[in-house]
Structure formats: C-alpha cells, structure tokens
Amino acid sequence: MTQEEIRTRVHQFIRKNFLFDEKATLTDDQSLLGSGVVDSTGILELISFLEDTCKIKFEDSELVADNFDTVNRISSFVAHKLA
Amino acid sequence: MCGIAGIVNVADRHEPPSRELLTSMISAIRYRGPDEYGLYRDRRAGLVHARLSLIDLTAGQQPLANEDKSLWIIYNGEIFNYVELRSELLALGHRFRTHSDTEVIVHAYEAWGVRCFARLNGQWALALWDSKAGRLILSRDRIGVRPLYVREERGRVWFASEVKAIFADPSVPRALDPRGLDQTFTYWASLPPVSLFTGIEELAPGSVREYESDGTKHDTLFWRPSYPVAPPDEYPLSLDEATEALAEKLETATRLRVLRADVPVGSYLSGGLDSSVTAWMGRKAKEGVFRTYSIRFEDAEYDETAYQRAMAATIDSDHQELVVRRSDIARVFPDVVRHTERPVLRTAPAPLFLLSRLVRDSGIKAVLTGEGADEMLAGYDIFREAAIRLFWSRQPHSTARPKLFDRLYPYLARSPQQAKGMALQFWKRGLERAGEPGFSHDPRWWTTSQLKRFFSPGLREAIERRPPGGPLDDLPEEFSRWDPLAQAQYVEVVTLLSGYLISSQGDRMLMAHSVEGRFPFLDADVMEFCNGLPARYKLAGLNEKFILKRVARGIVPESIINRPKQPYRAPDAVSFVEPGAPGYVAELLSEESLRDAGMFDVPAARGLYAKCLARAKDPAGEGVFSNADNMGLVGLLSAQLVHHQLVRARGLVDDARIEYKTLIDRAPIQQLSGTA
C-alpha cells in the first residue's frame, strides 16, 4: 500500500466514523485530537483500523500522539512501517 | 414534596383562569403529589397543588392562607428550620392554625417580606399570591433542588413545577429553544433563565421574582455560592477543629431531615463515601428500623455491591437492592426523559428512576442521599485535573509535572503509551488559559461541544443569530479573588449540580415515583461552612474530600474511605444498540423522525447510529464505545425523545379525575368558565 493509498483510506475512515459526513473538511495537517475530531478513546478505534487494514502491529513505544495526530503523520508513519 | 401550578393575570385585563385548565395543569404532574389536591381561584389568580404529605399529615393542606385569607401560598418542598422560625414568628405576634412548615412561610413573608427567603433553610419552589395587593411572588431554594418554570405573555403568567403542566394549556406554543440545546450540548444542562423550551423560563436557584399589579416584575438573587477571599492561612479552625465542626453540622442537618417528617425517612447507599456518611448519620438520628436502598449493575464495570453491603451491615439497616440490566435502561429511557424534560448525555438517571419505584413500593416517601458532597468538599476528578493542569501550566514544557495524572488515573500508569500520550495531549489543551475563569471546566465543555457537530444547519444558524450566554457571563464580583479550587467549585455548582445532578438525576427521578429526596450536604449551614473552608482542607494535594474522610473515620468501614473514587455511571450507548433493543430507538433515529424534529444533521446522526449498531455486533468492539459516541448517541436519542414527547405529543394530560380536598373558588360566578 502506498502512502497515498493509506492517506485516502484514513481520510475515508475518519469521515465515516468520526465526522459522519463524507464531505466534511479535513486537512492533512489538522490535529485530530486538538480539533476535537477524535477523542482519546476514539483514537483506539483508529489504531485498530490501521492494524486491521494494513496488517501491521504497533509496538507500545510507537503509540504516541506524535505518530497519530494528523492524517499526514499517520500515513507517513504507517508507510514507513510497511516499507 | 409536591407539585404546584398556576396562572395569574398580573395585569388585570384577562378572564380568570378556568378551573378546568388549572385541573389539567395539576393533573399533568400528579405523580409529584398523589395524596391530596387543592385549588384556589379568584378574579385574577388560579393556584393548584398536588400534595405528597410528609409533615402535619392531617392539617397541612394547600393552598393555605394567612389569618385574613388575603395571602395564599402553594409550595413544593420542606423548610427544615420551620420549628425555630415558628417560635420567632409567634413571639412577633403571629397566630398559627397548623403545625406545617407551609404556614411558617406565609407568616415569614408577612413579617419580613421577600427578605424572608434568605432565612429559610430548606428546599423549595413556591408561589405566594397577595390578593389584596395583586402581587405574585415566586421563589426557589439556593441550589434549585425544587424546580420552577415560568411563562409570561401579555400580562398573564403561567408557572409550574414542570414544563408539561404549562403545556397542558393548549394555547401555549411548544418549541425547543436553540439556546437551551446549545447550552445542554456544552454544559450538560440549560442555564436559567434559559430552558429547553422557547418562551419558558426556568426561575434561577436562590432567587425571588415579584410581579406587581401593574405587570412590572423584579428579580432578586438572595443567594449564590460564595467563598473566602482572605488569605487561607487566616482560617481560624485547625484541621481537627474543622473536622469536628463539620461532623456536628452534618449530623444536625441529617437529623433535621430525618426527624422533620411525620413519615419514616430512608437512605440511598451508593457504596461511596458520601452516602455512607449520610446513611450512618440518618441511622443514628432515630430509633427503629432504618431502610437503605442500592443500585447494583449486571455489568461488573459499574457495580459497587460489596461496598454497599459493607455499609448496610455496619448500620444494620433493612437493605434492599435493585439489579439493573442494560435492557432495563433502554426500556425505561422514554419515561426517564418524559420526567427530565431535557436531553441527557448519560443514562445515569435511568437506574435512579427504577430505584425510586422500589422505594415507593416499599412504603417509603422520603430518602436521604449524599448528593452535594462532591461539589461542597471537592470530590470530583475535575477538581483534581484542574489542580494538575494549573501546576503544569507554570512549566508547560515539563514532562515530570503531567506525570501527576498517573496518580489521578492509576490505570494510566499501567496503560500502554497510547492512552497516555493521547490523554496528555487532551489535558494540555488550553493550558495557556490558566488563571482565567472556566479554566477548570474547559476540557469538559470543549469535549461536550464537539457533539454540536451533529446539529442541523438550521439549528446552527438559530444559535448564531442569538447565541446563549454561559455561566461565566455573570460571575460574582469577587470571583477572581477566590482560590482556584473555589472558582471551580462555583462553576460546578451552578452548572452540573443545579442543572443536571439535582434535577435530571435527582428531583425528577425521585418525584416520578412520588419520593422526596433530602440532601444533608445541601443544607444551608453545611454549605456555608464547607464554602468557608480553606481549599487545602477539601483537596489536600490530590487527596479529594480530605476533611470528609476524617469525619468518616470510625463510622464508615476503612475499605470505603480508602477506595478510589468511582464515578457513578451506567451502561450508556450500548443499551440502545444491542440486539433486542426496543423499537423506539430505530424509530426516533430514523430519517423521518430526525427530519421532523429538525435539530440534527440527518446523515451525521444516522452515521453515528449505524456506527454504534455495528460496534455492538462486532465481537471485538462489543460494549466498547468512545466517550464521544456514548454521549452522542444518548444525547441525540434523549433530545429526540424530548421533542417527540413534549413538543409533538398531543394529549399530554392525564385525564383521570382530580378530587380536590381543598377548594376555594372566589371567581365571580358570571365568569365561571368550566368546572372540575
């Protein structure tokens, strides 16, 4: 899966599951926690989704806000992990 | 404890209110006082009362008047210092016909005017009609334990304990107020004078309203929470002395609440510190059988049975338990919301609705609860969170300071980095606003406000056109000079305690089954004392309710004193999306119903519902919902229920016959329109 594909899937997932609106504004650099799109329990849903979709497992040490706070960071981190 | 309703023509140019209409109004809230009914009517005013008899069972009927029958009262509540006030009034020459607290208010008003309310120690919502002067007085207790709603139109005033009694008048338009919705989805409750309904005002706690015969009105606040501005080291009592004084005041408050009733009073036992202390003191106040009641949960996550039983055994009470399942919550939720008359973001009121039924069925009409202790003595996590955030804000780059959150939430220390990092990110928000009013509540309000994502464009526009105020708009002058803990306590009292806990989770759930709640921690003297305490006696470091734990030593089992605080919660969203959930859920969250109510964005609301349904079916995600989804589903569903049951519904009136035990009708005969 390319970084672009990951980015698209993450966008879709967040729109469907957190914004409940296919057309909602969501930029690649928007802080998901900081803008209230995802709450601290909701982030676990996002992580499970990534693990299932990309067939990867995150180590505890990787699960820090820095890796998951924006669509950009998520896609580059996951792409890096898949590489 | 009772229900009241009335219509008064404050400007004298209307027909007298009809008996039929007054009867419909009281009938709509008859569960608040099923023992007796009373009606008073004259050329301008109609007052109706439904009574739950607790004091002076034979003579305390209402409406009740002064000696010359010019001043009439209907009243819901209890004045716990009425015996003392009565002696004072007797010495001033007032004559009494009954031994009820009701009559004391009438004479207190005659003696001291509207200043009398500051002298009452109790919980009340009342109307006084001075037929000679043509003056209507409405008042509510300090915290707003007893509800009171008002509507005015062209010189006519409607008022009642619950909105549905005002809606019993078919001429009253019914619509949801966008401002009330906006506040609910920020602060968890609408804030007086705003209510959930357009044109209906909630009378502010601790206030008096006077309508004069020319139709003018005047509002006075006679009480608001207030805290010391003096440096904390000047407090005169040592910790030991203060502990002793608090114990004494609480015992007095509890004793008054047990003994000032001509029926037995029981107690709730949650398994926590507050209700344990209350029950122990209630038990001590009177010889004989003492009954206690507890909620147990089938879901182990919420259950506190072991602690409840330990306390019941300690005081040797006649203990009854009610086991609540998810399906019970879903089943009674429409009834719950019919009584709260406002959206709720948690299902926590539902088990309390069921518990009050158990109390009533066991023959008890009044119960003590520990409500108020967390607000008066700093029990909630929100106070501890605020303390840590404040400490952190002084060194925002510190990594050591936020480690204190591990002490607040021990599960964090055990959690993988994920939860921790995310949680810290959350608490870090707004750190730079330390010292500003509302800093303590910022995370909660911000989280809750995210739910407005579900509001429809129409609702958003209405809110933008006329934005509601908030609790920070009208702060007491000395607010900024209070300790940060006191500031947080103030905000908590005027928002969550008055607007949600004591109403949606308190009065409304109790009165649904004709049970009166009595709250020693909300006693006027206890509140003054607690508010006067230095912050360090309440929150010692991060040790919450520090002084109350000292009061509890030796009377409450150590296991209860030392247990980590467990917030009272019930299963939320999962209750409504399990297989076998009742049909109304799908119906009210259908495209058609959502569109009809117009509050929510249809695709967004449908999306949330679909997500929750899918999650309930997913074996991995079963029962695990994010906080946002839990609050979202419960909030949307309850708002839909409010709309369906109170705005759309026709025939709100229970037409069962009302027989008046007290009936005084002075309306001119030619104007007599309709009969009971």
- The secondary structure of B301-324 as a DSSP string is GG--HHHHHHHHHHHT-EEEEEEE
Q: The CATH number of B232-377+488-562 is which of 3.60.20.10, 3.30.300.30, 3.40.50.2300, 3.40.50.620? A: 3.40.50.620
In this prediction, the answer to ipTM > 0.95 reads: no
Confidence of residue B671 (pLDDT cuts 50, 70, 90): very low
Region for B580 from its dihedrals, namely left if φ exceeds 0, alpha if ψ lies in -120 to 50, beta otherwise:
left
Q: Tens digit of pLDDT for each residue in A5-25?
A: 999 999 999 998 899 887 888
From the list B426, B453, B627, the residue facing A19 with the nearest CB is B453
Instruction: Write the single-letter amino acid at A7.
Output: R
> For B2-223, which CATH superfamily applies?
Aminohydrolase, N-terminal nucleophile (Ntn) domain (3.60.20.10)
Confidence of residue B313 (pLDDT cuts 50, 70, 90): very high
Q: Tens digit of pLDDT for each residue in B480-535?
A: 999 999 999 999 999 999 999 999 999 999 999 999 999 999 999 999 999 999 99
How far does A45 lie from chain B, in Å, by closest CA? 8
Residue in chain B closest to A41 (alpha carbons) equals: B626
User: Which has the closest alpha carbon to B487: B559, B436, B540, B420?
Assistant: B436
User: Which has the closest alpha carbon to B351: B293, B307, B266?
Assistant: B293
For residue B338, what pLDDT is reported?
A: 97
pLDDT higher for B224 or B394?
B224
CA angle B201, B205, B208 (to 5 degrees): 80
Give the Å distances, CA to CA, from B212 to A5, B134, B156, B182: 71, 7, 12, 33
For residue A24, what pLDDT is reported?
A: 83
Confidence of residue B412 (pLDDT cuts 50, 70, 90): low
Are B628 and A42 in contact (CB < 8 Å)?
yes
Round the average pLDDT of chain B to a whole number and report it.
93
Are B417 and A60 in contact (CB < 8 Å)?
yes
From the list B425, B429, B626, the residue facing A42 with the nearest CB is B626
Are A33 and B422 in contact (CB < 8 Å)?
yes
For residue B545, what pLDDT is reported?
A: 96
Q: Tens digit of pLDDT for each residue in B573-600?
A: 999 999 999 999 999 999 999 999 999 9
How far does A71 lie from chain B, in Å, by closest CA? 15
Q: Which residues of A touch B424 (CB under 8 A)?
A: 65
Are A60 and B418 in contact (CB < 8 Å)?
yes
Q: Mean pLDDT throughout B624-634?
A: 92
Confidence of residue B31 (pLDDT cuts 50, 70, 90): very high
Are B425 and A21 in contact (CB < 8 Å)?
no
For residue B399, what pLDDT is reported?
A: 85
Confidence of residue B617 (pLDDT cuts 50, 70, 90): confident
Confidence of residue A43 (pLDDT cuts 50, 70, 90): confident
User: Which has the closest alpha carbon to B449: B473, B430, B475?
Assistant: B430
- As given in the structure block, the two tokens for residue B307 are 């602690």
Q: Mean pLDDT throughout A29-58?
A: 86
Confidence of residue B675 (pLDDT cuts 50, 70, 90): very low
Extents of the domains making up chain B: 2-223, 232-377+488-562, 574-648
A74: domain CATH number is 1.10.1200.10
For residue B673, what pLDDT is reported?
A: 47
As a residue count, chain A comes to 83
- Residue owning tokens 């006329």: B466
Q: Mean pLDDT throughout B231-256?
A: 93
Residues B404 and B293 sit within 8 Å (Cβ to Cβ): no
From the list A19, A22, A39, the residue facing B447 with the nearest CB is A39
pLDDT at B122 over 90: yes
Residues B333 and B340 sit within 8 Å (Cβ to Cβ): no
pLDDT at B95 over 70: yes
What SS3 class is residue B126? Answer: strand
- Residues B6, B12, B13, B19: what is their CA dihedral angle, to the nearest 10 degrees? 30
Are A20 and B605 in contact (CB < 8 Å)?
yes
Are B419 and A44 in contact (CB < 8 Å)?
yes
- Residues A59, A64, A65, A70: what is their CA dihedral angle, to the nearest 10 degrees? -40
> What backbone phi and psi angles, to 5 degrees, belong to B72?
-115, 145
pLDDT at B138 over 90: yes
CB pairs under 8 A between A and B: 80
**Overall domain count for chain A:** 1
Domain that residue A29 falls in: 3-82
Q: Tens digit of pLDDT for each residue in A44-53?
A: 788 888 988 9
Q: Which residues of A touch B607 (CB under 8 A)?
A: 16, 20-21
- As given in the structure block, the two tokens for residue B521 are 């921690």
Which residues of A touch chain B, with CB atoms under 8 Å apart? 16-22, 33-34, 36, 39-45, 47-48, 58, 60-66, 68-69
